[in-house]
Amino acid sequence: MKKKLVAAAIVLLVLCIGMVWAQDSADPFAANRKKGSQSIEISPGGFLPLFVLDSNFAMISTPNMSPGAAFSVLYRYMLGKNLGVGGSIAGSFVTTVGGRTLFLAPVCVSSTWVFGTDPMEFDISAEIGMNVMRLSGNGIISPIAKLGGGISRYISESWSIGGKLMWWFVPELHLGSYANLNSYASFLEFSIGAQYLF
């Protein structure tokens, strides 16, 4: 009988603690997944060149690029529980076998599908925009598309940390008689990030 009372007291205590905990800390996952929720994410990471296609969509056997680094800032506005829209700016670079450095600086609009269960959050996002590239004093502005996903964990009501993978598709388009110079490159951005939610 005494043991049952002690057990009941422990269960009650746990339940009480749980209720107090629940009152003191609202579920950040639910709190940040509603219309009007906003977030800013900062993600530094690495940048891998994958492959380059020429104007005939044949793979260029020697892309001649080495891994580099990337940095991105993403703003997101939730339209509902799962869907968010926003924009991103990023900067990245890779080095070449000839000792040059290729810089890419895309500005994109984004849409994100968010899902998961507290405290983990998953997202799949797609971005399109314009990309400024510079190589040894020469510049190109091209369209860009990004596709990827990430995983993050809430560490407080306002902050979550995580990582993401983004595939960058970078078509380099030339006009008129220079259309034969068209090429299509792809890169993989892998990064860790911190997200502030408000």
For the bound state, the minimum distance from the C-beta of residue 41 to another protein, rounded and expressed in Å, comes to 24
Binds another protein (CB under 8 A): choice among 89, 159, 174, 188: 174
Interacting residues with another protein between 102 and 131 (CB under 8 A) = 102
For the bound state, the minimum distance from the C-beta of residue 73 to another protein, rounded and expressed in Å, comes to 18
Collapsing DSSP to helix, strand or coil, 11 comes out as helix
For the bound state, the minimum distance from the C-beta of residue 134 to another protein, rounded and expressed in Å, comes to 8
For the bound state, the minimum distance from the C-beta of residue 91 to another protein, rounded and expressed in Å, comes to 14
For the bound state, the minimum distance from the C-beta of residue 177 to another protein, rounded and expressed in Å, comes to 9
Smaller CB distance to another protein: residue 70 or 114? 70
- Does an H or E element contain 186, and which? strand 183-197
When asked if residue 133 is in the footprint of another protein (CB under 8 A), the reply is yes
When asked if residue 186 is in the footprint of another protein (CB under 8 A), the reply is no
Residue 64: CB partners within 8 Å, gap ≥ 6? 96, 97, 98
Smaller CB distance to another protein: residue 25 or 66? 66
Q: How many residues bind another protein (CB under 8 A)?
A: 31
Binds another protein (CB under 8 A): choice among 6, 19, 20, 181: 181
- Does an H or E element contain 16, and which? helix 2-24
Interacting residues with another protein between 78 and 107 (CB under 8 A) = 96-100, 102
Residue 184 and residue 172 in contact, taking contact as beta carbons nearer than 8 Å: yes
How many angstroms separate the Cα of 113 from the Cα of each of 59, 63, 73, 75, 137?
A: 32, 33, 18, 14, 39
**Could you give the CA distance from residue 141 to residue 164 in angstroms, rounded to a whole number?**
26
How many angstroms separate the Cα of 92 from the Cα of each of 71, 75, 113, 139, 152?
A: 6, 18, 25, 15, 22
Tokens of 73: 């800032």
When asked if residue 58 is in the footprint of another protein (CB under 8 A), the reply is no
When asked if residue 10 is in the footprint of another protein (CB under 8 A), the reply is no
Per DSSP, which regions of 14-82 are E strands?
38-53, 65-78
The residue ranges that bind another protein (CB under 8 A) are 52, 54, 60, 62-65, 96-100, 102, 132-141, 172, 174-176, 178, 181, 183, 185
